[in-house]
Structure 1
Amino acid sequence: MTVRLHHETHGDPAAPPIVLLGSLGSNAHMWDPQISALSSRAHVIAVDHRGHGGSPAPAGPYTVSDLGGDMLATLDTLGLDEVHVVGLSLGGAVGQWLAAHHPLRVRALTLLCTSARFTPAQPWLDRAATVRGGGIATVANSVVERWFTPELAQRDSQLVAHHVDMVRGTNDEGYAACCEALARWDGRADLSRIVAPTLVIAAEQDGATPVPELRAIADGIAGAELHILSPGAHLASVEQAGAVTQLIERHIAAVGSVEMSRRVLRDVGSTVRRSVLGAPHVERTTAGSTPFTEPFQDFITRTAWGDIWARDGLDHTTRRLLTMAILTAVGNEHELDMHIRAALRAGTAPELLMEVFLHTAVYAGVPNSNRAFALGKEALADLASETRGASERDG
């Protein structure tokens, strides 16, 4: 069962969406420094986990996948198919789960002061029992002691008091059940499944999730970038607010530049693909796309059609003939049949196909060319039948 999560939105709804997922015992205001800076250029959604802030607190136990399911339902409610996810601690665990299990929903991932496995488990279970027995106030001060370096805590007692009040405002059962979720979660095996561009931020003085934990995440996610900030403890987003915000902005901007290039290639590739293969064929292919096949369709549209076929070095007729010669040589009948039919529909003379297949017979083998002639014969017959049918209908 998913929970309707309380969330606060800031900035332009038409701008890139950034979802902020906070630490155990926090609420959306944990991210106030980032909200203030990011909302001028982004659509910022700060979310309360179940049992935190304004979100409901169903009875436990919870799992990280439960919390991730809540987030997916919230994105659906907001009509957001794809977002930049920023998560700290518990929020980082949820961010990892989302990126690994629902990769099409996560455009980019930023993980702060978190872990792929919160060990040992027993202290989390003990803390859950303590909160259920005596209330959240029994642990609030000790929790916040780990959030900031001693130097900052001594210098800014008002900041500490504000965050102690934040923890005390967390529902007892919600906090305890999230402790159990962390105790049971192990996302190490899923790190290799994460394909979203990932930024990992560690804090040098963070005793809750030490630097080696963040380094293990960065090593496990292909292409992930690791930054270590100092001074900083568990709530680095507050203690190093400016640096964290700058890193998030730079990461999202870099992903945006890549996405813009991908979008241009996708648009160009879609146009070229339709002109070569015909709009009906491309529309049938894209209509039959599924979440499993969509990444491959995106790949070939951008690379084969948006890059290679769009180059100026060879005209499309030459590329057609070259493609059919290669497909004949490697014996790829399915693709060859498709390109033969597309070439004939586009007006390529059958005599040109004949020369290609004769030439290929000498250099790639008679059997392959024999099959190419057979496919060409079938395609010509089908095309003639279609032409006769159209003439009879017009008559």
Structure 2
Amino acid sequence: MELTATILAAPTAPAAANPRVLIVLPSLGTSVGALWQSAATHLGEVDPATTIIGIDLPGHGRSAPVDVSAGTSEYPQLTMSDLAEAVLATIDRVLPDVAGSADASAASISVAGDSIGGAIALQLALDHGDRFDRAAVFCTGAKIGEPRGWLERAEVVATSGTPTQVTGSAQRWFGEGFMDREPEASAALLHSLQDADRFSYAALCHALASYDVRSRLAEITLPVLAVAGSEDQPTPPTKLAEIANGVSGALLEVIEGAAHLVPAEAPAVAAGLLHEFLNPDAAGATGTGEQNSATLPTASGPREASRDEVREAGMTVRRQVLSDAHVDRANAKVDDFTADFQDLITRYAWGEIWTRPGLEKRMRSAITLTAMIAGGHEAELAMHVKAAVRNGLTRDEIKEVLLQSAIYCSVPSANTAFSVASQALAEMDDEG
């Protein structure tokens, strides 16, 4: 099984002693170019010394289909480990040319993937963690769907072809309005599905049917970024939160309004998150793919930045934690009387405190829940319960925070908190 690699973004700045390479992997039914090219172009603009290489899956894009004996429809039943090994073999084959040296091990390699591409990235982190610096997983899970469903889909596609999946994929892949806003991008993705080899697609379904690394997440030692689309049906944010909770030190980001193909639906945002993740020491990296001249706060002191820069950084993290919809509603209500207060909380609460690197966002959410309970701030508690889910707390962890508050804040306070939290979580379920 030989896969094809494509350079999506070549370096435009002098390479360092150890060339930096990002490998990107597509989802089931898409080509790497259709899914990742726009995000790679954005990322190349802010990371000009990095080479971004896309690797197509078997029978997708530019990669050859799986071997099927003439006159039969018997295709190989692949595993995720098979796919991970094929990706690694491809990296070893193309990297010497990219690195400009026969010693490809000198290169600094990270991997990012969407859906099954994210599952392959997790498998590589488990089986060959020493070969990679970082892993970013988009719209995926440690287990995706149920085996029976994948096996049934494999048989349908092997018999009738990938066009049978176009209508369903159009509904699952994209957030509301994306196909109207970006007709060319959505058409390219759906065409890549229609053009995919049916037996290769079926073989990948078999890999997903047997894939389950939930019990192994703690074995991953690489830094991991987990990115979810808020509207994703196949792999909702809870799937990415499970990864973020299972891998020590992993980060979780939820992209509002996006569904299952974040790199194509929000390419600038995806590029910004990758830039920040791949450059953890870079000052002023933001989740929008743009550079901010403000210096990030340190563990021991505040940032050195202008008032506007702090406010901009605060607005970015406020939107990440509370959602664009919430912040837009709050901003719509701002008038001359409340404007200064909104500016105050954006700059100080969000710009000075929530942006600090000393605590992960999920820890800050747990602390904030306790503070809201202790203060009896029910409306704010409901808002921060939803924010806690976006920041990676599971419902069981939220329950534990509320139980502990019964001891330290009072049983009546916890009783009210459980009622508020239950309603907030139910609203999230209703919103999908």
User: Which among 84, 87, 108 is matched to residue 71 of structure 1?
Assistant: 87
Question: Are 1:38 and 2:46 matched, yes or no?
Answer: no
For 2:6, the aligned partner's letter is: E
Deviations 1:271-311 (A, max 9, x none): xxxxxxxxxxxxxxxxxxxxxxxxxxxxxxxxxxxxxxxxx
Question: Are 1:57 and 2:65 matched, yes or no?
Answer: yes
User: Which among 237, 242, 263 is matched to residue 263 of structure 2?
Assistant: 237
Structure 1 pair 44–155 and aligned structure 2 pair: CA distance change class (3 A): closer
Residues 101-112 of structure 1 aligned to structure 2 (within 5 Å): 101-112=127-138
Structure 1 pair 188–256 and aligned structure 2 pair: CA distance change class (3 A): farther
Question: Are 1:171 and 2:190 matched, yes or no?
Answer: no
Percent of aligned pairs sharing the same letter: 31
Distance in structure 2 (CA, Å) of the matches to 1:49 and 1:42: 22
Q: Is the 2:226–2:253 contact (alpha carbons within 8 Å) kept by the matching residues of 1?
A: yes
Q: Is the 1:197–1:255 contact (alpha carbons within 8 Å) kept by the matching residues of 2?
A: no
Between structures 1 and 2, the one with greater helix share: 1
For 2:36, the aligned partner's letter is: W
Residue 44 of structure 1, CA deviation? 0.7
Aligned residues: 255
Aligned to 2:335: none
Distance in structure 2 (CA, Å) of the matches to 1:172 and 1:256: 44
For 2:220, the aligned partner's letter is: I
Q: Which moved more, 1:14-23 or 1:85-94?
A: 14-23
3-state secondary structure, aligned to 1:206: coil
3-state secondary structure, aligned to 2:133: strand
Distance in structure 2 (CA, Å) of the matches to 1:87 and 1:222: 19
Q: Is the 1:7–1:28 contact (alpha carbons within 8 Å) kept by the matching residues of 2?
A: no
Aligned to 1:7: 5
User: Which among 127, 147, 150 is matched to residue 124 of structure 1?
Assistant: 150
For 1:16, the aligned partner's letter is: R
Distance in structure 2 (CA, Å) of the matches to 1:35 and 1:119: 28
Aligned to 2:211: 185
Aligned to 2:366: none
For 1:152, the aligned partner's letter is: F
Q: Is the 2:185–2:264 contact (alpha carbons within 8 Å) kept by the matching residues of 1?
A: no
For 1:114, the aligned partner's letter is: T
Distance in structure 1 (CA, Å) of the matches to 2:181 and 2:41: 23
Q: Is the 2:173–2:261 contact (alpha carbons within 8 Å) kept by the matching residues of 1?
A: yes
Question: Are 1:249 and 2:275 matched, yes or no?
Answer: yes
Structure 1 pair 34–158 and aligned structure 2 pair: CA distance change class (3 A): closer
Distance in structure 2 (CA, Å) of the matches to 1:116 and 1:256: 30
Aligned to 2:379: none
Residue 156 of structure 1, CA deviation? 3.6
Distance in structure 2 (CA, Å) of the matches to 1:97 and 1:214: 15
Distance in structure 1 (CA, Å) of the matches to 2:282 and 2:220: 18
For 1:11, the aligned partner's letter is: A
Distance in structure 1 (CA, Å) of the matches to 2:238 and 2:112: 20
3-state secondary structure, aligned to 1:43: strand
Residues 68-217 of structure 1 aligned to structure 2 (within 5 Å): 68-77=84-93, 78-79=95-96, 80-81=104-105, 82-217=108-243
Aligned to 2:370: none
Q: Which moved more, 1:203-212 or 1:75-84?
A: 75-84
Q: Under a length normalisation based on structure 2, what TM-score does the superposition of the two structures give?
A: 0.57
Root mean square deviation of aligned Cα? 1.7
Residue 256 of structure 1, CA deviation? 8.2
3-state secondary structure, aligned to 2:177: helix
Q: Is the 2:2–2:86 contact (alpha carbons within 8 Å) kept by the matching residues of 1?
A: yes
Q: Is the 1:144–1:163 contact (alpha carbons within 8 Å) kept by the matching residues of 2?
A: no
Q: Is the 2:129–2:221 contact (alpha carbons within 8 Å) kept by the matching residues of 1?
A: yes
Unaligned runs of 5+ in 2: 67-74, 97-103, 284-432
Q: Is the 1:215–1:226 contact (alpha carbons within 8 Å) kept by the matching residues of 2?
A: yes
Give the number of the structure whose alpha-carbon radius of gyration is greater: 1
Aligned to 2:290: none
User: Which among 24, 28, 31 is matched to residue 27 of structure 1?
Assistant: 31
Distance in structure 2 (CA, Å) of the matches to 1:70 and 1:234: 24
3-state secondary structure, aligned to 1:45: strand
